[in-house]
Structure 1
């Protein structure tokens, strides 16, 4: 995880899983 100063994006999947990542990157880079 980077600095808290960056914008964070929370993506909740249909099954209830919540993915949090820095805004600006693609979901493919998180998985």
Structure 2
């Protein structure tokens, strides 16, 4: 039970980081 919640937490953190990275790349001019 506890391990599953940790897995979900890690997954949401990875998604959050991925969205931040893609947003950061989008805000930068591609050159």
Q: TM-score range by the shorter chain?
A: under 0.3
| Higher strand content, 1 or 2 | 1
Q: Which has the higher contact order (CA 8 A, sep 6+)?
A: 1
**TM-score, structure 1 as length reference:** 0.23
**TM-score, structure 2 as length reference:** 0.23
The structure with more radius of gyration: 2
| Higher helix content, 1 or 2 | 2
